Amino acid sequence: FFLSLKLENKTKGKLQKQICQVVLDHFEKQYTAELGDAWSNVREVLTSPWCWQHAVLLNRFSRCPGLESSLAEQGYHPAFPAALPCLPAAFRCYVRTAPGRFPAQKHQPGKLKEYYLLNAASLLPVLALEVKDGEDVLDLCAAPGGKSVAILQCACPGRFHCNEYDDLRSRWLEQTIESFIPDALLNLVMVSKLDGRQFGDLQPEFYDKVLVDAPCSNDRSWLFSADPQQAVLRLMQRKELSSLQFQLLRSAIKALHPGGSLVYSTCTLSKAENSDVINLILSSCRNVMPVDISEMARGVSQEFTFLSGTQQHELLVLPEKGRAWGPMYVAKLKKVSST
């Protein structure tokens, strides 16, 4: 016990030194104002990677007979209640309250992985999208591919377009899809490297469902920026992100056919990149309306902590000890007409 405690304290000290003070000071000021008393609990989790948790999303295309029983023996339980209205029958994800990480699987060409490790909150945008078999689906900012993999655990789309503008991240996305999707289904999946802001003009009113998991100021990773100069640059560029996010959303709306729906998500707590962007879209695009996702939020409230006071079409997952999921912002919209 004492040895493990000593190792834990050593790890804590090492990780604590890696926190970027410039970013933490910025967050301290912004999130105290935006989150109030909730920020202190969130800050404790975000600055303490030894208490972060990882979910295990099973791959329905590569089932391992003993995997679920092995997870149960290690204290894992289903992340989402079976009664959740938007939960597909084939969707299997496991979590536990204890921190730590299930062993990762390496990419092996020609062999499918059995599971994907991820932040459980990142599955909420996918569940909110409610993809059905045969629908044409676009994942506009798809890398590294976790949400794309999750979408294919939910349903078999008619066509599934995974787009990633960044060249390096696009190669990462391709490898992820190769690792999880059998050859027989790969002909349904198209990977592209288009500028997401132009997508709506290139393929107008084509898709039933669009996921916009937008580039954002990733609070978890930014806190551990190794280079202070890079951190300062990131914080300066942060002001420009909401404009990019708005343009991506507007493009996604153009790409939807009337009656189609989209989900917008980020992994930041920042109001400017979350509800402010959605409010601007709702006020400037008359052909979209908000979609209530409060029932889904209530259904998963045993596993996730949400910021109170949000609108019915949005949610914000706040990390806390024992439920260290998030940050994750999710909002859902529906396109009601062409103009």
Contact 19, 224 (CB under 8 A): yes
Q: Is residue 8 part of a domain?
A: no
Identified catalytic residue from 20, 86, 267, 285: 267
Listed in sequence order, the residues at least 6 apart from 181 whose beta carbon sits closer than 8 Å to its beta carbon are: 61, 112, 149, 152, 189
Average pLDDT over residues 256-282: 98
Q: Is residue 105 part of a domain?
A: no
> What CA–CA distances, in Å, run from 186 to 22, 160, 250, 294, 299?
44, 9, 29, 34, 33
Instruction: Identify each DSSP E strand in 214-275 by its residue range.
Output: 256-266
Nearest to 35 by CA among 294, 329, 332: 329
Q: What's residue 82's pLDDT?
A: 87
Total structural domains within the chain: 1
Q: Is residue 256 part of a domain?
A: yes
* For residue 136, pLDDT beyond 50: yes
Q: Is residue 257 part of a domain?
A: yes
Q: Is 143 annotated as a binding residue?
A: yes
Q: Is 141 annotated as a binding residue?
A: yes
Q: Is 48 helix (H, G, I), strand (E, B) or coil?
A: coil
Average pLDDT over residues 137-166: 96
Q: Is residue 15 part of a domain?
A: no
**Using the 8-state DSSP alphabet, how is residue 128 labeled?**
H
Q: Is 164 annotated as a binding residue?
A: yes
* For residue 195, pLDDT beyond 60: yes
* For residue 64, pLDDT beyond 90: no
The 10s digit of each residue's pLDDT in 87-113 is 999 999 999 988 888 899 998 888 999
CATH number for the domain harbouring residue 286: 3.40.50.150
**Using the 8-state DSSP alphabet, how is residue 273 labeled?**
G
Question: Is 64 an active-site residue?
Answer: no
Q: Is residue 279 part of a domain?
A: yes
Q: Is 146 annotated as a binding residue?
A: yes
Mean pLDDT lowest for which of 3-17, 146-160, 207-221, 309-323?
3-17
pLDDT band for position 287 (50/70/90)? very high
Mean pLDDT lowest for which of 98-102, 169-173, 215-219?
98-102
Give dist(CA 159, CA 182) in Å, integer: 15
Q: Is residue 223 part of a domain?
A: yes
Q: Tokens 């000290």 correspond to what residue?
A: 13
* For residue 285, pLDDT beyond 80: yes
Q: Is 183 annotated as a binding residue?
A: no
Q: What's residue 10's pLDDT?
A: 41
* For residue 239, pLDDT beyond 50: yes
Nearest to 148 by CA among 77, 209, 83: 209
* For residue 204, pLDDT beyond 60: yes
* For residue 13, pLDDT beyond 60: no
* For residue 325, pLDDT beyond 90: yes
For residues 108 and 13, which has the higher predicted lDDT (pLDDT)?
108
Q: What's residue 54's pLDDT?
A: 94
Average pLDDT over residues 58-63: 94
Q: Is residue 161 part of a domain?
A: yes
Numbers of helices and strands, H then E, in the chain: 13, 12
Write out the DSSP string of 167-203: HHHHHHHHHHHHHHS-HHHHTTEEEE---GGGHHHHS
Contact 174, 190 (CB under 8 A): no
Q: Is 134 annotated as a binding residue?
A: no
The parent domain of residue 125 ranges over 21-99+111-335
pLDDT band for position 165 (50/70/90)? very high
Q: Is 72 annotated as a binding residue?
A: no
* For residue 15, pLDDT beyond 70: no
Q: What's residue 99's pLDDT?
A: 87
Q: What's residue 17's pLDDT?
A: 53
pTM score, whole prediction: 0.93
Tell me what the pLDDT averaged over the chain comes to: 92
